[in-house]
Structure 1
């Protein structure tokens, strides 16, 4: 493993961790607002990463994928919810499942704004270029990975947020299959990546298109560009 790969891992893992935590916090907050205190009672309505980390999904899988030169995917411990406690089951379930990706969108927007702010700070403090350039690198990664998580999670893969929303509109037999297949969500994702890489790339292309739209106006403020 070369030095640039190690640097990429050390910059990416904290960014991914915050993206995962923000996503699960969104689910927990929305569930509480819809009448379900399960996640709140489990201590998941917090940005403390320790309560959200799943060693396999949060650390091991992303690190291995980065070491192999790929795009890091993974997740945190699923947020525990009890949809039967929602004041309106269908409406509440849709809101809670969309809350995670909504948080990822908000983090991507905030990261873009901070990228711009750090660029202005770097122009005012040229001696801090080295440190601030690393901060900008991580903020750009934050935009990329939060948008990637957004588009990955709305895919109609069993266990993903998009599938949870669509199950309300599926025929009963299809919805039942999706519910039974939820524990295999990561298997379906890696099967898609491994055996239908072209289709997977096409499905996540909008994430990178949107990333470019976010970053284009602020790139003139990127430090280290002459």
Structure 2
């Protein structure tokens, strides 16, 4: 029997290889950052469970991090990709000031992604300044910027269980915060529906991504001026 399933092209495989390292770094550092900040504010849960680590194996979810993104990528020819990592366990009740400290724990992940975007941008500047014209490496640096800005912006969406939802819950008055927390069991499905409907991309990701790229250009403009 003839197999009529589409075979991934060499360009598609190369694209997966280009994005693989930036994606692994972005999710690993993001999740570890939650654990480190939670421990700083008094919760050792992630540390005791071995999740305060830069080993990506500890943070990879076989379905959410590997299978789902690859299936979506190949089935939509790269038009739509969605995935997730294992969330770092945090017992907010162990934090010294649970409602306030929850905000810092939640912000740690997106902040780590923005910092990584800056580092990938510096690497890109370094490659260009050194005259390295190997497309694979420059494309990987650009992918690192893109992946981390997407994670930064997406995770700040103000709906639990995303980090932005936890930030909002920590900033709202107690009654409103408890109401928002009740949404969390259904939050993943609500976010996924909003992503598929294009709401998150149009009204949240695009404006925030533009802001992120603008901030990167502003931060790195002195370096760009030196390299001219």
**Contact in 1 for aligned 2:102/2:167 (Cα 8 Å):** yes
The answer as to whether partners of 2:100 and 2:170 remain within 8 angstroms in 1 is no
Structure 2 match to 1:100: 109
**1:160 partnered with 2:158:** no
CA distance in 2, matches of 1:65, 1:114: 29
Q: Which residue of 1 aligns with 2:151?
A: 149
Q: 1:52 aligns with which of 54, 59, 64?
A: 59
Whether the 8 Å contact between 1:154 and 1:160 is mirrored in structure 2 is: yes
Q: Secondary structure at the match of 1:167?
A: helix
SS of the residue 1:80 aligns to: coil
CA distance 1:183–1:59, shift in 2 (3 Å): farther
CA distance in 2, matches of 1:90, 1:173: 12
Per the alignment, residue 49 of structure 2 pairs with 42
- Which residue of the partner structure matches residue 82 of structure 1? 91
Which residue of 2 is the match for residue 201 of structure 1? 202
Q: After the TM superposition, which of the residue ranges 60-69 and 83-92 deviates more from structure 2?
A: 60-69
Question: In structure 1, how many angstroms separate the alpha carbons of the residues matched to 2:45 and 2:60?
Answer: 18
State the alpha-carbon separation in 2 of the partners of residues 219 and 202 from structure 1.
31
* TM-score, length of structure 1 as denominator length: 0.83
Cα 1:204–1:102 change in 2 (3 A) is same
Aligned to 1:224: none
- Distance of aligned partners of 1:212 and 1:81 in 2 relative to their CA distance in 1, 3 Å threshold: closer
Q: Partner of 2:193 in structure 1?
A: 191
What do residues 7-36 of structure 1 show as CA deviations (whole Å, max 9, x unaligned)? Answer: 212222321121111110110110010011
Residue 9 of structure 1 contacts residue 66 of structure 1 at CA under 8 Å; is this kept in 2?
Answer: no
- Aligned partners of 2:50 and 2:100: how far apart in 1? 24
**Partner of residue 181, structure 2:** 179
How large is the RMSD of aligned CA atoms in angstroms?
2.4
Which residue of the other structure, out of 109, 116, 131, is the alignment partner of 2:118? Answer: 109
| Alignment partners' CA distance in 2, 1:199 and 1:52 | 25
